[in-house]
Chain A
Amino acid sequence: MRSSVFFLIAILIGAAVFFGVTLVKNDYVFFAGYVILQFIVLATAWNILGGYTGYVNFGTAAFFALGAYSTVCIHKLYPLPIPFLILIGGLVSGIVGFGMGYLTLRLRGAFFSIATLALAVVLQTLIVNWDFVGGSRGAYVIRPATAPLIGNYIEYLFLIMLVLAVLAITTARIIERSQLGYGFAAIRDDEIAAEASGVPTLRLKLIATTLSGGLMGMAGAPYPYYIGYLDPTSAFGLAYAVNSIAMPMIGGTTSWIGPLVGALLLGTIQQVATVTISSAVNLLIVGILLVAFVIIAPKGIIGFVQDRLRARKA
């Protein structure tokens, strides 16, 4: 399937989802749907680096919070429309991702992972000490009463996240089928061999880190308007990091469809568990599922299904 055709189909599915949800006439569906869509973007973004090149990023929360806090910062200076905020958030996170990658990607993969973990702690320290964006007390972001075009603000946020999700998934699929994607796969399978065959590994890894970090920042940018009150502890919550790793791992890391399946599945389970049990228990479920899947089904659901289909043909 050509990428343009895929993009059109993705847009059509997105539109169908939006109108389907509008039919329900219940704001809660938009609130819950927003969270799931946000996880689709985060999981897809994580997978561009983690799944395609094999470099594990534990700092999803850091990139996400960077996007969210750039929104808070700009909101205090001069409120811009959300699409601009998303671009700015993406830019900030992308630049930080590039800087991190430049310093640590020349070393073994483990060092990059550890550095991303530490990055989250340090950015949180910076935000806690920065009074302009609320410090440790957090910041209130008053959401405008009405949204452009649609009117209902939560529907507007939902639509924006839906557009982001469609863009993220299309980007991931384009990368997968391009020369860039083959380069990434070569790095994942055997970096030394790739380097020896003339794949510009450092440059490719930097592209992946920047893209992935940027997308995470874009997912974070509308978040302050969604939540209304942003504090460092919730913005840097470990839940983002765990979910964005668990979703691709459970769905399958080699193609764009894995993170999508994982995010839909885990996101829905968590929405249900948060309402019915408690939010701490649902995090425990995610952790246990992650460990169980990496041990038992290392290729994820998609890999498992593919293996089954292949076995039936043979």
Chain B
Amino acid sequence: MYIQFDLLVGALVAGILLGGFYAAVTVGVSISFGILDIVNIAHPGFIILGSYIAYIANQRLGIDPIAVSILVLPAFYALGVLIYQIYHVSFEKRGQDALRGLAFFFGLLFITEVALILVFGVDFRYVEASYIGPTWHFGIVNLPLRLLVPCLVSLVVLAVLQLFLTKTFIGRAIMAVSQDQLALQLMAADPVRIKRIAFAISIATCSIAGACLIIIQPVEPSIGREYIGRIFAICVLGGLGSLPGALIGAMLLGIVESITSTFYGPSWAPAVAFGFLLLTLAFRPAGLLGR
């Protein structure tokens, strides 16, 4: 097959931008699954919830979706605290977190999806903002602002979180909690409190990721399922618990997906993530930057 050069460049650029956005979608799971070992498969459900909140505020009040997502961050943080509290009391303490914890999060995913369907129906919803239409052109490189803005926002989120995790006391405690809880207690930090903060942060990222999602594409309640495969593929590919790894994994997946949908049609794109996931699990389960 003859591959057109400008088509390839376009696909590459779109893939990198998409990858930046995927990093924002994944970063929460990198924290909850990668660092805390809590398999929160309900994560995409909360992202869609974030999208719908951005949608309502945008339609009713005309506020910018990103601004909305930052305003509701505390609410998502509180939701994360609540969920962790239930999870901790019901599963972590009883020592049966594996089977039932998974079922619990699966139930949450399902409840958010069905509840959104009941309230909003299955129609696709979208937001309006000044940067959704225009595209910047540099020679043969096209930068659609609709993709560029979410990519930049998620890079900022990632940078802030990376700084927080490596430079502050609580951040370092979060990195340590999965490795040695006793040592953490000797440092006068309560492991449960640290885990609660970390999990709440991971849910809080859903707010921003959700706003980015609805800027990139119209959203309907069951779309979250497509992201489960992507999120975990990126997480595993990059190496569990590593934010730079998540960014690299997200970029890789974004580029390959974008090339696939440019040359083979967009209906094949969801299969790419799964291929990545299976190959990584089969050949390098520790991921690219695994510890």
Interface residues of A (CB under 8 A from B): 50, 54, 56, 58, 103-104, 107, 109-111, 113-115, 117-119, 121-122, 124-126, 128-129, 136, 238, 241-242, 245-246, 249, 253, 280-281, 283-284, 286-288, 290-291, 294-295, 298
Mark B24-37 against chain A: 1 for CB-CB distance below 8 A, else 0.
00000000010000
Enumerate chain A residues within 8 angstroms of B96, measured Cβ to Cβ.
298
Q: In angstroms, how far is the closest chain B Cβ from the Cβ of A254?
A: 11
Contacts A107-B285, A122-B229 given; indicate if A245 touches B106 (C-beta within 8 A).
Answer: yes
A54 and B108 alpha carbons, distance in the complex (Å)? 20
Inter-chain contact B114/A283, CB cutoff 8 Å: yes
Inter-chain contact B268/A129, CB cutoff 8 Å: yes
Q: In angstroms, how far is the closest chain A Cβ from the Cβ of B105?
A: 9
In the complex, number of A-B residue pairs with CB atoms less than 8 Å apart: 122
Contacts A54-B99, A287-B107, A291-B108 given; indicate if A110 touches B281 (C-beta within 8 A).
Answer: no
Inter-chain contact B285/A295, CB cutoff 8 Å: no
Enumerate chain B residues within 8 angstroms of A103, measured Cβ to Cβ.
278, 281-282
Chain A at the B interface: mostly helix, strand, loop or mixed?
A: helix
Inter-chain contact A113/B271, CB cutoff 8 Å: no
Q: In angstroms, how far is the closest chain B Cβ from the Cβ of A252?
A: 12
Q: Of B90, B106, B115, B233, which one neighbours A295 at CB under 8 angstroms?
A: B90
Inter-chain contact B270/A121, CB cutoff 8 Å: yes
A58 and B103 alpha carbons, distance in the complex (Å)? 9
Whether, in the assembled complex, B243 has its beta carbon less than 8 Å from a beta carbon of chain A, the answer is no
Inter-chain contact B114/A128, CB cutoff 8 Å: no
Inter-chain contact B107/A121, CB cutoff 8 Å: no
Interface residues of B (CB under 8 A from A): 33, 39, 41, 86, 90, 94, 96, 98-100, 102-104, 106-108, 110-111, 113-115, 117-118, 222, 225-226, 228-229, 232-233, 236, 265, 267-268, 270-271, 273-275, 277-278, 281-282, 285
Enumerate chain A residues within 8 angstroms of B225, measured Cβ to Cβ.
117, 121, 238
A56 and B104 alpha carbons, distance in the complex (Å)? 12
Inter-chain contact A290/B271, CB cutoff 8 Å: no
